[in-house]
Structure 1
Amino acid sequence: MGCCNAVRLNKCDEYPTQYRTDFIRTGYRPLPFSFKECIKSAFYANNETGNIWTHFIPFLFMVHRAYNVINQFEDLTDPINFGYYVHSIGVTYVLIASTIAHTFCSHSELCFRKCYSVDRAAIIMQGCSVQLVFELYICPPSCYVAEGMGRNSHVILTLYCVLSTIMFCSSVHPRLGRFQRFLATLPFGIGSIMINFSCAVRYLYSSNAIESTCFGTTKGDHVLFYFHLTSACLAIFFYVTKLPERWYPEKFDIVGSSHQIFHIFVAISLYFQNRLIEHVTAEAKFKIETGELLREPLASACSQTVGIFLLTFITVHSVVALYYWKVQPTIQICKPPEKKE
C-alpha cells in the first residue's frame, strides 16, 4: 500500500490523448515512467494492473499446460506434433508480448508505440499459428469448402500477415486520428474469418469430409471448437462495445473494464484452441496407427507449420523494425499538458 500512496495517478484530462483509453477516466500512471516504476505498478491499483495480470496469469497457465502435454509425446520429433508446438508458441508469445506492452507502455511515447507494435505483431503471429494448424490438421478448406481452395493459402496468409503488420503499426500513429481504430480492428475481422470460416462450414456439414485426409469430426471436437468460437465472439463484443465503463463512468476504471474482460475471454478462447489441437493431434496418431488416416498429407508438417511460422515471424518483425527505422518520424517524450492558472 505504501507504493500506491507514493504514486499520484492521473485523470484522463491530465493525460496525452494518444495514451488514453476510451471511457477510462481515472487511474492513469504518471508520464514518463521509468522501467522500474512500470514493473512496480503491476503490484498496486491503477488502470493497467488488471490488463497486465489478465495476460500474465494465462501466460503462466499455458506454459505449464504446454509443458505437460509435450511431456506426454512419445516422439518429440514426430511431424504430427509440430502443429501443437507452433500453436503453443503463438499463444504464449502473444500473452507475454501483451503483458510487456501493458507493463511498459507508460515509459515513453516511443516505448508505447514500439510495445504495441510488437504486441500487434504477436497477435498476427498467434493468428498465423492458428490458421496454419487449423488448415493442416483440423479444417482444410480443400476438404470442406472447395477442392484446391487451400493451394495458395500460404501465400495469402503471408500477405495478410505483412499487410496487417503495416496497418497495426500505423494504428498507433497519432496523426491518423479517427482511422486508428479502423486500422487496428480490420486485421482482427479478416483474421477471424480466415481462421473460423472453413471450420464453421466443416462442423455444420462434416459428412462432406474425405476421411482419408480429413479428421477430427468427433463430437468432442465440435464442442471444443464452438467453445472457442463463443469465447472469441464474447471477447469481440466487449472489445467493440466498451462495456461496462461506457455506461458506468469511473466505476470500472481499475477493475472490471471491458479490456480486462476482453483479455479473459481471449485467454479462454486460446485455451479451447489448444485443447482442440491437442485432441486432434492425438486422434491423428491413433487413426494413422489403425490405418484409418493417411500419414503422407501430414508428413510435410515441418515445412507447412514450423517453416512457414518462422518465415512469417521474421517477415512480420522485419516490417515492424523497418517501420520504426525508416517510416516513423523522430519522437519526443510526451509530457502531460500543463494546467492553466
Structure 2
Amino acid sequence: MWTEQQTEKGAELRIISHHASGVVRPSLSVPHLSPSAGAPLPSLPPTVRDVDVPPLFREQFILSGYRPVDLSWRCYVLSLFQIHNETLSVWSHLLAAVYVLVRFLMFTGPEGQGFSVDVSSLPLVLYVFSAVTYLKLLVAALQFTLLHSRADAPLALFFLEHVGVAVYQYGCALALCLYSSDTGWTQSMLGQIFLPVVAVVVWLSCIICCYTDLHFHRPYLWHRRICQVVPMGVAYLLVISPVTHRLASHNWTNTSTLPLHFLQVALFLLSAVFFSCPVPECFSPGRYDIIGHSRQLFHILLSICTLVQQEALFEDFLWRRQALVREFGEERLLLACASFLGLTLCCVMTALVIKRRTHVQLLQEGR
C-alpha cells in the first residue's frame, strides 16, 4: 500500500520522466477556454492517474481518468461535459431521471385513461418521486464526491446515496405490493405484513451500508462488499416478492407485464454481478478506465432496470386501479403512503446522525 510520501515521490518521478522523454499524456478534459476571449466557461484541469488522488477516491484496477480533488462547485458541475472515468455513469442516471419524469408526464395524458392524483394513484406518484430522487442522489454522489479535501464530505454524499437507494426500494415495495401483486400473495402471511417488514429491512440496510462506508476505508477488502451486498440483496428479494410470486404462478402469455418484470429482475441480478466483481477491468487494468469498467456497467444496467420497471408498473396500475380502493380501502392506502414519508424521514435522520458521528471520529483521529 502506498504511503503519502511514496505517492508524492512517485508522482514527482513520473512528471520528471515525462518531461525528460518529451512525451505528454493527452488530456481528457474539455478544451481550454481563455477568459480574455470572452469565453463563458473556465478551463478544466486535465484528469489524473490513480496515484494523484487520495486512496478514498480510487477504484480497484482503474488507473486513470480521475478528476483532481478539491476543486470548486463550478468545476465539478462543468465536469459533466468532461471525459473522465465516471462520465457514462453520471449521464446514465441523469438521462434516466429525466426520462422517468417525462415518461410519467406522458402517461398522465390519454395513455393513463383519465389519470388523476387520488388515493389509488398516489402510490404510483410516490414511486416516480422515489425513482427520480434516487437517480439524482446517485448523480450527486458520483459527481461531487471530490468537492472538498475534508475527509467527511465524500462520506456524507455516500450516505445520501444510501438514503436514495432505501427510499427507492420502499417506493418500489409500495407500488409492487398494491399494483403488481395477485390475490394469492396479498392474502398470504407475507402479504399481510409486507410493508412494515420491508420498512424495517430497508432501514436496517441503509444503516448497515452507511456504517460500512464509515468503518471500511480503501483499499476495500471483501468485508465491505459482503456488508453491502447482503443487506441490499435481502431487501431486494423481499421487495420483489410480489412479482416473483406472480411470475411463478401465472401464465406469461396472458399479460405483457410479466415479461417486463422478468427483464427487470434479470437486469438487476446482472448489475449486482458487476457491483460485486471488478470485471472486466481486473483482467486488464487500465484498459477499461473510461469505457467498460464494472462500476460503469453497474450504473448503466441499474438505470435501464428502473426504466423497465416503470413501464411494468404503468401497465399494472391500469390493471388494478379500479379494484384497488375496494380491495384495500382508502384508510389502508393512505396509511401505506404515509409510511413512505416516515421511512424517508428515518433514513435521512439516520444519515445525519452517522455523518455527525463521522465528523467527531475524524476530529478525534486528527484527520
The normalised TM-score by structure 1 is 0.84
The residue correspondences of 1:11-50 to structure 2 (distance < 5 A) are: 11-50=49-88
Q: In the TM superposition, what whole-angstrom CA distance separates every residue of 1:26-85 from its partner, at most 9, and x where no partner exists?
A: 111112222111112121111122221111111111111111113445252332212211
- Quick one: higher RCO (CA 8 Å, sep 6+), 1 or 2? 1
Q: In the TM superposition, what whole-angstrom CA distance separates every residue of 1:182-203 from its partner, at most 9, and x where no partner exists?
A: 2222222112211223422222
Shift of 1:300: 3.9
Unmatched runs of 5 consecutive residues or more in structure 1: 208-215, 333-341
The match for 1:132 is: 174
Give, in whole Å, the separation in 1 of the partners of 2:44 and 2:325.
Answer: 64
Question: Which residue identity lines up with residue 349 of structure 2 in the other structure?
Answer: S
Aligned-partner SS, 1:150: helix
Shift of 1:93: 0.7
Question: Aligned to 1:182, which of 226, 231, 234?
Answer: 226
Question: Which residue identity lines up with residue 295 of structure 1 in the other structure?
Answer: R
Give, in whole Å, the separation in 2 of the partners of 1:47 and 1:260.
Answer: 8
Pair 1:77 & 2:117 matched:
yes
Give, in whole Å, the separation in 1 of the partners of 2:201 and 2:97.
Answer: 26
The match for 1:120 is: 162
Shift of 1:248: 2.2
Aligned-partner SS, 2:240: helix
Shift of 1:294: 7.2
Pair 1:167 & 2:208 matched:
yes
Give, in whole Å, the separation in 1 of the partners of 2:234 and 2:227.
Answer: 12
Give, in whole Å, the separation in 2 of the partners of 1:155 and 1:98.
Answer: 26
Q: Identity of aligned pairs, percent?
A: 17
Shift of 1:318: 0.7
Aligned-partner SS, 2:360: coil
Shift of 1:259: 1.7
Number of aligned positions between the proteins: 318
Question: Which residue identity lines up with residue 242 of structure 1 in the other structure?
Answer: P
Determine if contact 1:124/1:164 at 8 Å carries over to the other structure: yes
Question: Which residue identity lines up with residue 229 of structure 1 in the other structure?
Answer: V
Question: Which residue identity lines up with residue 103 of structure 1 in the other structure?
Answer: Q
Give, in whole Å, the separation in 2 of the partners of 1:147 and 1:247.
Answer: 47
27 and 70 in structure 1: CA distance in 2 versus 1, 3 angstrom threshold: same
Shift of 1:270: 0.9
Question: Aligned to 1:222, which of 258, 276, 293?
Answer: 258
The residue correspondences of 1:194-273 to structure 2 (distance < 5 A) are: 194-206=238-250, 218-273=254-309
Question: Which residue identity lines up with residue 289 of structure 2 in the other structure?
Answer: D
The match for 2:327 is: 296
Aligned-partner SS, 1:225: helix
Aligned-partner SS, 1:80: coil
80 and 60 in structure 1: CA distance in 2 versus 1, 3 angstrom threshold: same
Give, in whole Å, the separation in 1 of the partners of 2:213 and 2:90.
Answer: 19
Q: Relative to structure 2, which stretch is displaced further, 171-180 or 24-33?
A: 171-180
Q: In the TM superposition, what whole-angstrom CA distance separates every residue of 1:108-147 from its partner, at most 9, and x where no partner exists?
A: 232211111101110111111111111222126x723872
320 and 95 in structure 1: CA distance in 2 versus 1, 3 angstrom threshold: same
Determine if contact 1:161/1:316 at 8 Å carries over to the other structure: no
Unmatched runs of 5 consecutive residues or more in structure 2: 1-29, 34-42
Determine if contact 2:195/2:336 at 8 Å carries over to the other structure: no
Question: Which residue identity lines up with residue 135 of structure 1 in the other structure?
Answer: C
Question: Aligned to 1:155, which of 193, 196, 220?
Answer: 196
Determine if contact 1:93/1:122 at 8 Å carries over to the other structure: yes
Q: Relative to structure 2, which stretch is displaced further, 166-175 or 41-50?
A: 166-175
Give, in whole Å, the separation in 2 of the partners of 1:217 and 1:300.
Answer: 35
Whichever of the two has the greater Rg, that structure is 2
Determine if contact 2:202/2:235 at 8 Å carries over to the other structure: no
Question: Which residue identity lines up with residue 248 of structure 1 in the other structure?
Answer: S
The match for 1:191 is: 235
Give, in whole Å, the separation in 2 of the partners of 1:301 and 1:262.
Answer: 36
